[in-house]
Copies of this chain bind each other. A is one copy, B any other.
Amino acid sequence: MRLNPVSSPLLTDLYQLTMLQGYLEHGMTETAAFEFFVRKLPEPRNFLLTAGLEQALDFLENLRFRPEELDWLRKSGLFKPVLVDYLEQMRFTGDVFAMPEGTVAFPNEPILRVVAPMPQAQLVETRLINLLHFETMVASKAARSVLAAPGKLLVDFGLRRAHGAEAGLLAARAAYLAGFAGSSTVLAGAMFEVPVYGTMAHSFVQAHEDEAEAFEHFAESFPRSAIMLIDTYDTEAAARKVVEIAPRLAARGIGVKGVRLDSGDLAEHARRVRRILDEGGLKQAVVFASGNLDEYRAHDLVAGGAPIDGFGVGTSLVTSADASSLDSVYKLMEYAGRPRRKRSEGKATWPGRKQAFRQTGDDGRFRGDVLTVEGDTAPGEPLLRQVMKSGKRAEPSPPLTAVRERALAQMARLPERLRTLEPAEPYPVQVAPALKALAEEVDRLTR
């Protein structure tokens, strides 16, 4: 059977359906509150940048089982009619509270809360984590390159080694949201208006008998935007070829936008190539670098003064290579009006519906957060707001450019130590007395 993984509600864990059947058979359809949060930061991260809410809300608004999916469930022999009949008419009718996309977040803070009848709230777990986890992970990774290479043009080049189609697409969105200039992924331009960037591949040079001819052909096709890839054979020799053909092209009104380096000692090549371009009258041509780059390499190249104007960051970004997952979970916090808590060894949770408040210091920087029960107050700004009411968005989504501005503003307000690539003293998140008291009460009541 051919189905679309991006939209099929069968993209879920089997246990969601088995539990649903259990809930339905025992009339457990009262209101549940689940929260999505990250238990702890991966070692090389000082903060999270939230992303994926937009896709999560799309998923909830459009959740429905199609006839062929219901047929498969019926024929699978795994379930009773009570489940399939329920799924046939099910729509998501719950409320959702969340941090806006592009918010700086820390461990144990609820990033999103679902309040809905238990079967609905349970069923959506897998895909909600799947979406929020991935985009938040990539945005948090991308933010590091943005902080490490201020003022440089950063472009996501990762689609080919992203984990499948949706990962490539959403990584482009998450990276742009976190401050990248854009992506090479055309579909991200078409779907999310992410600015798209591209140069040429080695194959274009190799397909020509002559490297200079390849450059001329490319420039003729893109008379205002051609960036030449110059490392196919000999980087400096290729830079000289660019200088050589430039006057001929200029006479025909064709400019050379720049060159791309993709291998070898990038700092050294950049210096030599910059000199060749400058001496050859191409002072305005940019030098763009790529090839196994990440925030550390970008930082070192910038710190070393390499004359590089922009970086293509690929695999390390879209796979978040140094931390390819976050310890993110979606946990039951309340059912039928009573707070709940998991006490598994090393995995205990704070019970109940929660809110986080963030205080700002006199310097405009974030100073510390307080985690407490919903309804309690604490100094500072509350971070969660209602984003969905009875299954519909509470308000139209902001444009992605606005989310990006918010993200950059949030990153600017981080304490300086958290804005470096080095592991820093953690940001303080206090647990309020009201929340501690609730946890004790829940423990007392749970057999």
Give the residue of B13, B118, B131, B233 whose beta carbon is less than 8 angstroms from that of A343.
Answer: B233
Instruction: Determine the distance from Cα of A234 to Cα of B159 in the docked complex, in whole angstroms.
Output: 45
Q: A207 on the interface (CB 8 Å rule)? A: yes
Q: B343 contacts A22, CB within 8 Å?
A: no
Give the residue of B10, B169, B332 whose beta carbon is less than 8 angstroms from that of A5.
Answer: B169
Q: B157 contacts A13, CB within 8 Å?
A: yes
Q: B17 contacts A211, CB within 8 Å?
A: no
Q: A162 on the interface (CB 8 Å rule)? A: yes
Question: Interface 1/0s, chain A 1-25, versus B by CB < 8 A?
Answer: 1111111101111111111011101
Instruction: Determine the distance from Cα of A134 to Cα of B166 in the docked complex, in whole angstroms.
Output: 12
Q: A11 contacts B331, CB within 8 Å?
A: no
A3 CB to nearest chain B CB (Å) = 6
Q: B341 contacts A206, CB within 8 Å?
A: yes
Q: B5 contacts A166, CB within 8 Å?
A: yes
Closest to A129 in B: B160
A341 CB to nearest chain B CB (Å) = 7
Q: A207 contacts B161, CB within 8 Å?
A: no
Q: B343 contacts A161, CB within 8 Å?
A: no
Question: Interface 1/0s, chain A 304-332, versus B by CB < 8 A?
Answer: 00000000000100111100111010011
Q: B160 contacts A202, CB within 8 Å?
A: no
A230 CB to nearest chain B CB (Å) = 10
- Which bracket fits the contact residues of A? 35 or more
- A34: which B residues are within 8 A, CB to CB? 203
Q: A217 contacts B25, CB within 8 Å?
A: yes
Instruction: Determine the distance from Cα of A1 to Cα of B188 in the docked complex, in whole angstroms.
Output: 10
- A169: which B residues are within 8 A, CB to CB? 5, 11, 164
Contact flag A447-B345 (CB < 8 Å), given A13-B185, A17-B186, A190-B1: no
A48 CB to nearest chain B CB (Å) = 15
Tallying the copies of this chain within the complex gives 2
Instruction: Determine the distance from Cα of A264 to Cα of B346 in the docked complex, in whole angstroms.
Output: 7
Q: A204 contacts B19, CB within 8 Å?
A: yes
A54 CB to nearest chain B CB (Å) = 12
With most chain B CB atoms within 10 A of its CB, the pick from A5, A131, A197 is A5
Q: A93 on the interface (CB 8 Å rule)? A: no
Q: A218 on the interface (CB 8 Å rule)? A: yes
Residues A130-173 near B (CB distance < 8 A)? 130-131, 133-134, 157, 159-171
- A200: which B residues are within 8 A, CB to CB? 15, 18-19, 22
Q: A207 contacts B345, CB within 8 Å?
A: no
Q: B191 contacts A3, CB within 8 Å?
A: yes
Q: B6 contacts A331, CB within 8 Å?
A: no
Q: A46 on the interface (CB 8 Å rule)? A: no
Closest to A321 in B: B324
Give the residue of B196, B319, B328, B331 whose beta carbon is less than 8 angstroms from that of A202.
Answer: B331
- A335: which B residues are within 8 A, CB to CB? 206-207
Give the residue of B8, B207, B217, B336 whose beta carbon is less than 8 angstroms from that of A32.
Answer: B207
Residues A55-72 near B (CB distance < 8 A)? 69, 72
Q: B319 contacts A324, CB within 8 Å?
A: yes
Q: A113 on the interface (CB 8 Å rule)? A: no
Q: A199 contacts B15, CB within 8 Å?
A: yes
17 A-B residue pairs with CB within 8 Å: A3-B187, A4-B4, A5-B6, A11-B159, A13-B160, A18-B221, A21-B221, A21-B222, A25-B221, A28-B208, A164-B166, A164-B170, A166-B166, A207-B332, A207-B335, A263-B346, A319-B324
Where the two chains meet, the residues of A that have a C-beta atom closer than 8 Å to any C-beta of B are 1-8, 10-19, 21-23, 25-26, 28, 32, 34, 69, 72, 76, 78, 80, 118, 122, 125-127, 129-131, 133-134, 157, 159-171, 184-187, 189-191, 196-204, 206-211, 217-218, 220-222, 231-234, 262-264, 315, 318-321, 324-326, 328, 331-332, 335-336, 340-347, 446-447
4 extra interface residue pairs, beta carbon distance < 8 Å, beyond A26-B217, A206-B341: A18-B222, A22-B218, A129-B160, A165-B166
